[in-house]
């Protein structure tokens, strides 16, 4: 039986952590607890370790992204859904790599492992819709696509963001036109 204040605190901690990890990730546990407005012990009651907190935040993010596929496909044409969805994913990848110094190498590895399968499933779903639709070549491979987009998160240097343009290039190559 979870008390309501416990669930509320968990939410506040997740919010604070999400905001904290958004760009750099070099934020201490005590800082996150303070921002969330809870004691350090509460933070550790919910997430027994720093790594657990980081993992929880990014698993939630991946779930959100992966879960949005079905809705996107009802709202727009498959190719547009693919484009929109991928930019969302690329942004999440950028955040993940922004963790950089603050996350241990093995924690990052675990993150990648637990993230791979659901992401591939989502890409497959999007590509299949676009193939059924006839807008994308039937031989387009989800793994290849992920590999390509994996390079896009770097493409956000000074000033403007080249990721959308590069993504257009990739998608254009996959289209039957």
Partner DNA sequence: ACCTGAACACCGTTCAAGT
Give the torsion sign (CA, 80, 86, 90, 96). positive
Quote the least distance from Cβ 40 to its own copies, whole Å: 21
Quote the least distance from Cβ 121 to its own copies, whole Å: 25
Quote the least distance from Cβ 91 to DNA, whole Å: 24
Angle between helices 29-36 and 4-21 (to 10 degrees): 120
Q: Is residue 106 part of the contact set for DNA (CB under 7 A)? A: no
69 binding partner (options DNA, its own copies, none; Cβ < 5 to 8 Å by kind): none
Q: Is residue 135 part of the contact set for DNA (CB under 7 A)? A: no
Stretch that binds DNA, among 26-34, 84-92, 137-145, 158-166 (CB under 7 A): 26-34
Residue 85 near residue 70, CB atoms below 8 Å: no
Quote the least distance from Cβ 46 to DNA, whole Å: 7
CA 155 to CA 87: how far, in whole Å? 12
Q: Which of 92, 82, 73 is nearest to 167 (CA)?
A: 82
Quote the least distance from Cβ 51 to its own copies, whole Å: 8
Q: Is residue 40 part of the contact set for DNA (CB under 7 A)? A: yes
Closest CB to DNA among 46 and 83? 46
Closest CB to DNA among 16 and 69? 16
Torsion angle, alpha carbons of 98, 154, 92, 45, to 10: -20
Tokens of 29: 């546990």
Q: Is residue 18 part of the contact set for DNA (CB under 7 A)? A: no
Q: Is residue 27 part of the contact set for its own copies (CB under 8 A)? A: no
Side-chain-facing half-sphere of 66: CA atoms under 13 Å: 16
Neighbour-count burial of 99, counting CB atoms closer than 10 A to its CB (0-12 exposed, 13-18 middle, 19+ buried): buried
Site for its own copies, residues 95 to 114, rule: CB under 8 A: 99-108
Tokens of 133: 């639709």
The site for DNA (CB under 7 A) is made up of 1-3, 5-6, 9, 28-31, 37-46, 48-50
Contacts with its own copies by CB under 8 A lie at 99-108
């Amino acid at each position: 039986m979870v008390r309501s204040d416990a669930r509320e605190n968990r939410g506040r901690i997740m919010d604070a952590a999400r905001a904290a990890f958004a760009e750099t990730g070099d934020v201490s546990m005590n800082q996150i607890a303070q921002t969330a407005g809870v004691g350090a012990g509460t933070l550790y009651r919910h997430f027994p370790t720093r790594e657990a907190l980081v993992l929880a935040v990014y698993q939630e993010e991946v779930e959100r992204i992966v879960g949005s596929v079905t809705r996107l496909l009802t709202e727009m044409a498959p190719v547009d859904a693919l484009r929109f969805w991928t930019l969302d994913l690329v942004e999440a990848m950028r955040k993940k790599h922004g963790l950089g110094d603050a996350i241990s190498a093995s924690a990052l590895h675990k993150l990648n492992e637990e993230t791979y399968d659901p992401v591939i499933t989502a890409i497959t779903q999007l590509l299949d819709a676009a193939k059924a639709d006839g807008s994308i070549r039937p031989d387009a491979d989800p793994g290849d696509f992920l590999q390509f987009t994996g390079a896009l998160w770097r493409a956000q240097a000074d000033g403007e963001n080249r990721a959308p343009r590069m993504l257009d290039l990739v998608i254009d190559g996959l289209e039957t036109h």
